[in-house]
Amino acid sequence: MTTKKKVLYTLLALLFISIAYAANYAYRYALIGAGYNAKTVCSCVFVSGRSLASVEAEDLYAIPFGTRSIDTVAQTATATILGIASKTAVYRPKLGCTLLNDVTAEELRQQPAEEIGEYGPEASADSVLPPKQQEVLNKTLDWAFAEPDPKHPIRTRAVVVMHNGKVVAERYAKGITPTTALMGWSMTKSVTNAMIGLLVKDGKLEVNKPAPLAEWQNDNRRGITVDHLLRMSSGLKFGEVYNGISDATKMLFSVAAAGQYAIQSPAEVSPATKWYYSSGTSNILQELIRRRCKNHAEYLNFPHRRLFRTLGMSTAVLEPDASGTFVGSSFMYASARDWAKFGQLYAQDGVWKGERLLPEGWVNYSSRETPPSDGRYAAHFWTYVRKEGLPADSFTMNGFEGQFVLIIPSKQLVAVRLGCSPEEKYFNEVKFFKEIAAAF
């Protein structure tokens, strides 16, 4: 064989390998996209009660090359991307929607959701503000719902302002009501914080002790504490990237057990030396919570029995993965009023109707800045608004596409904004927060 032919065959082999790699990557990425579409459609239709047409028009901009279908009898949503990759999500009452990753619909429905039980809403008290104060808030709400540039949609869906535990202002987009459960995305992390707080109150966890995970006891991760996980300073290597195949996208849309996937993350640096926002740590915490419960039924009932039922958050739906563990980083739906109630619990130092739900000092701990974060983050809550001129005790819950809850205990003020802003920079939450805070 001549040298020229050898070079040619080598180049052809490399070409075929490159094509095969690209095709494999494209297929795996399409599967993630199909999972994102199926999960989003399923939750928006069966949990939020929206139409498939509205979801396709507003929520699926990130993965446009697909087809979606709804089975109202089986209560499933299926998405196919470019005809090559397909995923299905299944709806279950009280548990919302779950992707069928390595599990059948029949197996999923055998999980003990019936243990959660039924509970009704607790009506939010309303209050009427003086006309001038109301006028100021109305202008802020007008701004929040405005669409100044059709090329960059804002899509605010709900705003609720609560002062002294009473709703003083609220507004909803067309098709959204006070009982419509809307996605919180990463605001779910703050609910995971509350669940950890409940276990601390029960004496089942200590935040400053190493996380009790058998998987970490024989390597350099054994010194990672619950506090490190809550503060996103665990030092674990985890790719929080959403524009390709990454740890985050695989964890949320491709694997059966999000927490168990994240637990496998290797140590990159020593704990408390680096701040890195990681949804994986929130799902590790949910795995810890599950392991502290007697059985699966107790775990699935835990946030409802200990938190949502007490606060009257009847629209709250915390969604589990296929293994039955809550995706505590990302997948919770609730109405704007119910998100406000959760924020009010923290505004009231973890006390509700005279009963202490969260441990003494837990809110102060949860809102205390994490040193490596440069003033941006606390313990599954954000604190950057303090650097923007809001009161020194302000902190927030934040989620993808512009989900926000502002909490200012000193003003007894909670403000909720829910929506679907594809380009988050076009909704200036700091301006929104400042104007509302200034009204009080």
* Higher local confidence (pLDDT), 13 or 52: 52
Give 166-185 pLDDT, tens digit per residue. Answer: 999 999 999 999 999 999 99
pLDDT tens digits, 277-307: 999 999 999 999 999 999 999 999 999 999 9
Looking at the chain, the whole-number percentage of residues with pLDDT higher than 90 is 86
Strand partners, 270: none
Sorting pLDDT into bands at 50, 70 and 90, what band is 43? Answer: very high
Which residue do the tokens 């001129």 mark?
A: 389
Mean pLDDT, residues 369-388 taken together: 97
Mean pLDDT of 47-54: 97
pLDDT of residue 189: 98
DSSP string, 259-274: HHHHHTPPB-S-TTS-
Given a contact cutoff of 8 angstroms between Cβ atoms, the answer to whether 439 and 424 are in contact is no
Q: Assign 324 a pLDDT band (cuts: 50, 70, 90).
A: very high
- CB-based contact 66:33 (threshold 8 Å): yes
Who's near 6: CB < 8 A, 6+ residues apart?
Answer: none
CA distance 233 to 180: 35
Q: What is the pLDDT of residue 12?
A: 52
At 62, the pLDDT band (50, 70, 90 cuts) reads: confident
User: Cα–Cα distances in Å, from 264 out to 91, 100, 288, 380?
Assistant: 28, 21, 14, 21
Instruction: State pLDDT tens for residues 95-114.
Output: 999 999 999 999 999 998 77
Burial label, 302 (beta-carbon count in 10 A; 0-12, 13-18, 19+) = buried
Domain ranges of the chain: 3-100, 156-438
**Which band of pLDDT confidence, cut at 50, 70 and 90, is reported for residue 26?**
low
* 213: three-class secondary structure by DSSP: coil
CA angle 57, 187, 254 (to 5 degrees): 65
Lowest mean pLDDT among 9-13, 129-133, 219-223: 9-13
How does residue 136 score in pLDDT terms, banded at 50, 70 and 90? Answer: very high
Instruction: For tokens 């924020």, name the residue.
Output: 343
Residue 25: pLDDT above 60? no
Give the fold, CATH level 3, of 156-438: Beta-lactamase (3.40.710)
| Mean pLDDT, residues 71-85 | 95
pLDDT of amino acid 20: 47
Which pLDDT band, with edges at 50, 70 and 90, does 21 fall under?
A: very low
Rounded CA-CA distance 130/128 in Å is: 7
DSSP assignment letter at 256: S
Say what the pLDDT of residue 13 is: 53
Residue 231 CA to residue 272 CA, distance in Å, equals 9
Q: Which two tokens stand for residue 79?
A: 């998405």
Which amino acid would we find at residue 67? Answer: T
Cβ atoms of 369 and 378 within 8 Å: the answer is yes
Distance CA 398, CA 392 (A): 18
The answer to whether the CB of 350 falls within 8 A of the CB of 363 is yes
User: Is the predicted pLDDT of residue 265 greater than 60, yes or no?
Assistant: yes
Q: What pLDDT is stored for residue 169 in this prediction? A: 96
Cα–Cα dist 39/402, whole Å: 19
CA–chain centroid gap for 334, Å, is 11
What average pLDDT does the structure give for the chain?
93
Share above pLDDT 70 across residues of the chain, in percent, rounded to a whole number: 94
DSSP assignment of 342-356 equals HHHHHHTTTEETTEE
Flag the least confident range among 3-7, 120-124, 220-224, 391-395. Answer: 3-7
Average of pLDDT values for 409-419?
Answer: 98
75's CB contacts (< 8 A; 6+ apart) are 46, 90, 91, 92
Contact 148, 158 (CB under 8 A): no
- How far apart CA 381 and CA 440 sit, in angstroms, is 23
The sign of the torsion formed by the CA atoms of 345, 348, 353, 354 equals: positive
The two tokens of residue 121 are 């809403």
Beta carbons within 8 Å of 148's beta carbon, 6+ residues apart? none
| Selected residue with higher pLDDT from 274 and 113 | 274
Q: What mean pLDDT is predicted for residues 213-236?
A: 97
Task: Tell me what the mean pLDDT of segment 232-237 comes to.
Answer: 98
- What is the residue type of 150? P
Q: How does residue 227 score in pLDDT terms, banded at 50, 70 and 90? A: very high
Task: Report phi then psi at 326, rounded to 5.
Answer: -60, 140
- Region 395-400: mean pLDDT is 98
